[in-house]
Each structure stands twice: as C-alpha cells, then as structure tokens.
Chains A and B, each alone.
Chain A
Amino acid sequence: GAVVSQHPSRVICKSGTSVKIECRSLDFQATTMFWYRQFPKQSLMLMATSNEGSKATYEQGVEKDKFLINHASLTLSTLTVTSAHPEDSSFYICSASSGTGRNTEAFFGQGTRLTVV
C-alpha cells in the first residue's frame, strides 16, 4: 500500500519557538495533502487542505499565520507551528492523496507528537 511518512515522530520545543513537521509520500505523488490535529482522547480535526503549488485552504478557526503550510512538491508538505505555546501541544497527523477526485483514496502518516514547554 501507499506509504506516508511524517518526521519527526516526536518533538519538544520551547515556548515561543517554531517547529516544522514534514509529511512525505514515499511511493506516490500527492496532489493533495491534509493536516489534522488531535488532542488527547479526542478526535481528529481537519486543520487545512493543501494542493501542490497552491496556497493551503484553512478550516474555520485555524490561524493561517500560526500554522504555515507549504506544499511545494508532489511528495512533500510541511507544517510549521510558529511561536509555539503550550496550548499548541498536540498530535499532528497528515494524510496524502494522489488526486482531487472524490473517489481518490488518502493515506495517513504516523503522526507527530508536539510538546511545547
């Protein structure tokens, strides 16, 4: 099956610093990538949708200046949490799809645990 890899799997950063999370599709070209956030014992919430070469579309309530998303190639999308604060501590998960059609499957990465201290 298709493989989506996230890096790092865990990261601890100091409050006020920025941290970058990478999402790579290893064996297919990802036209569309999605970023989700998951707080402990809660569900996944979609943060943004990014299409290669275009600006990301953010969900309501997600600050685009705080969560910078870059999808510059067909195999890589990055999420940068800027000026991180403890309340940004969460599990961030990406998924990647090879197309934009409704029937195109998407595959999830293994997630990145961010802890802001």
Chain B
Amino acid sequence: GESVGLHLPTLSVQEGDNSIINCAYSNSASDYFIWYKQESGKGPQFIIDIRSNMDKRQGQRVTVLLNKTVKHLSLQIAATQPGDSAVYFCAENRGSARQLTFGSGTQLTVLP
C-alpha cells in the first residue's frame, strides 16, 4: 500500500550548521510532495513543495531534493537556527486538493 516514512525520528544539530531531514515514499506514482514544520501544539506550517518533474527546489534557507529512482526526498535547512526546532513532516498529495498522507515525522532540535 501507499506509505510515506522517515529514516530518523530525531535529529540534533548545532546552531549554524546545516540540517538534512530524509523521507522515503513507496508509491512510485506520487507526483507532488510537501514539507511541513509543526511546532508543539500547533498545526502544520507549509515550508516547501516539489513536483515529480523536478529534482530540486530552493526556498529561503531550505532546499528540497527529490530522487524518484529510489523514491526518496530530503529537506535541507541551511544555517539552522533555534527557531527551526520543531517536528518536520513530509507529505504526499494522494488525491485532489491536498488530501495528504503524512510521514512519521522527524524531531529537529537545535543546540546552542
């Protein structure tokens, strides 16, 4: 069946370092992916998205890479800041209008 999963449940990085969060998916027909940030007690916040006709997309301090051959995507955060501490989810658009399947999440902790 369809699934979206993450390699690591937790990640700790030093402030200023770069962070890389990984995600694997199993549905080779998936054509749209989104990364979300969720702070404690809040709803998910959109970070960046990517379509399957791309292999890289950049935003402000963030980059998403998509490798369709191995069904893997990653989120890179440059110069990680304390405010980046949160749980990060990848999500797969499974149907119309953002009906999403979420991965299990990675807790990112930024160390001073």
Contact = CB atoms under 8 A, between A and B. Distances in A.
A108 B97 contact: no
B97 A102 contact: yes
A97 B95 CA distance: 13
Mostly helix, strand, loop or mixed at chain B's interface?
Answer: loop
Nearest to A113: B41
A44 B96 contact: no
Nearest to A31: B97
B99 A49 contact: yes
Interface string A64-99: 000000000000000000000000000101010101
Contacts of B35: none
A91 B102 CA distance: 15
Contacts of B96: 32, 100-102, 104
Contact of A43 (B42, B99, B104): B104
Interface string B30-45: 0010000000011111
Contacts, number: 62
Contact of B100 (A46, A104, A111): A46
Contacts of B105: 42-43
A31 B43 CA distance: 20
Interface in B12-54: 32, 41-46
Contacts of A104: 96-98
Contact of A99 (B43, B89, B97): B97
B43 A93 contact: yes
B101 interface: yes
B103 A108 contact: no
Most buried by B among A4, A6, A46: A46
B43 A111 contact: yes
A31 B98 CA distance: 12
Contacts of B93: 102
Interface string A10-45: 000000000000000000000110101000001111
A108 B41 CA distance: 13
5 contacts: A4-B43, A43-B102, A93-B44, A102-B32, A106-B98
Interface of B: 32, 41-46, 89, 93, 95-105
